[in-house]
Each structure stands twice: as structure tokens, then as C-alpha cells.
Amino acid sequence: MNKKKNEPNKIKTPWPTKDAMEQVYDMKLWGDNASRYYSGDGSHHPEIVNPYLKVVTSFLTSFKKPLVVCDLGCGDFNVGQELVKHTRKYIAVDIVKDLIEHNKEKYKEDNLEFHCLDLAVDDLPVGDCAVLRQVLQHLSNTEIQNILNKLTSFEYIILTEHLPEGHFTPNKDIISGQGIRLKKQSGLNLLAPPFNFKVKEEKQLSSITLDDNKGVIMTTLYQVF
């Protein structure tokens, strides 16, 4: 059977991140909710979600011809569902198979697709803009580098990361899983070593300071060469 045009190539390679992320949902490590599939306060708290939706919607609606958006690490899709209507096509990706199957049943739009893929291993879908909202912060530097090697195929990248407030040492390595670099007083900076990701333009879209010195949720728009 011929592979459909633009269908991502899925490589059957074991990767420990898949097991770690499945465990997050199985054990409700990001919060106990009525649904088994809950991606945490970062995907549901209005003070975090609403400013994000405002700036990303403004960006997406600034184009005369709507973009094809690839949501890389879509989680429970509580946020992504609000952006679909502003795109020509919305391709939502996550590593957890049962979560993707759940999303397929819950969210149905003519211009919406869901794929179960490992961002660090599998080929990514084809699109104009990649959205990664608090995804890379959970991954090791090796996996991040593998993903960055593929992100150059997109014209735009919208990246959201949970960072320490004030000065911090960027890109300390971690083991992929539930945790992030915040405990090491570190956060992700794609433009700094060891990644040194090259972009044409960088623009901060939003910065949300969390209570009790819990850091900053930063959303940045990159235009890629």
C-alpha cells in the first residue's frame, strides 16, 4: 500500500520517553481529574491558558491564507481545540497512543488530524508552523536536539517553556519524564549551547509570572531560515 501524501513516517524504535509519558497519565502525575487524560494546570488554568490563546490566535489570524499547524505534544487537547478554527489544517501529535485515541473520539473537525508519534524518533508531519507548548522542557538534551534537527522544515515555531524567574543557567541536561529543569535552576534556551539553534527572527509573545516563585511561563515565536 502506498503511503499517503504528507503522512508522517513512523519508525518502530523503542524509546524510554514513551513509557515515562504513559506512566504520567496512568498514575495521574500531572493532577487528579475526572478524566484519566489530564495534562495538568498548564493546560487548564485560565491565568495560563487564556493569555496564551490570545497571542497565538492573534498570530494565526494575521495571515490572509491560514497556516497548516502541527501541534507537537498536544496532550489532552484542552488548549489546541481552541486554535483549530484559525488554521487551514491542524495536525495534533502526542507520544501516548491511548491519549491520541481518546482525542480522536472527543474532538472531530474537518481540518483536524491526530497522530501518535515520538517527536524525537519519528518523522514529523508537514506544516507551516510547529507549536510546542511545555513539551521540550520534559525531554533530555539528546531528544531535544533530535527534534530541533527536524524543526527546520517549519517556517514558524511557537515555543512555550516553564523557566526560572530571573537569571538561570540554560539547558542543563535531565532524564526525560515528568520533571523539568526548574529544580536545577535551569530552563530551555534553544539559541544557547549546546543547541545553538539558528533562527531568522525571535519574538516574545507572552510571559506569565507564576505565584510563589514558581517561575515564568514564556511563549516565544521563532521564524526559521
Give tens-digit pLDDT for 83-94. Answer: 999 999 999 999
pTM of the model: 0.88
Helix (H) or strand (E) holding 219: strand 216-223
| Tens place of pLDDT per residue across the chain (225 aa) | 444 445 565 544 445 677 677 666 666 655 666 567 877 778 888 999 999 999 999 999 999 999 999 999 999 999 999 999 999 999 999 999 999 999 999 999 999 999 999 999 999 999 999 999 999 999 999 999 999 999 999 999 999 999 999 999 999 999 988 789 999 999 999 999 999 999 999 999 999 999 888 999 999 999 998
Query: What residue type is assigned to position 49 of the chain?
Result: V
Domain ranges of the chain: 16-223
Task: Return d(Cα 68, Cα 120) in angstroms, integer.
Answer: 21
Nearest to 220 by CA among 55, 30, 2, 99: 55
CB atoms within 10 A of CB 144: 24
- Domain 16-223 is found in CATH 3.40.50.150: yes
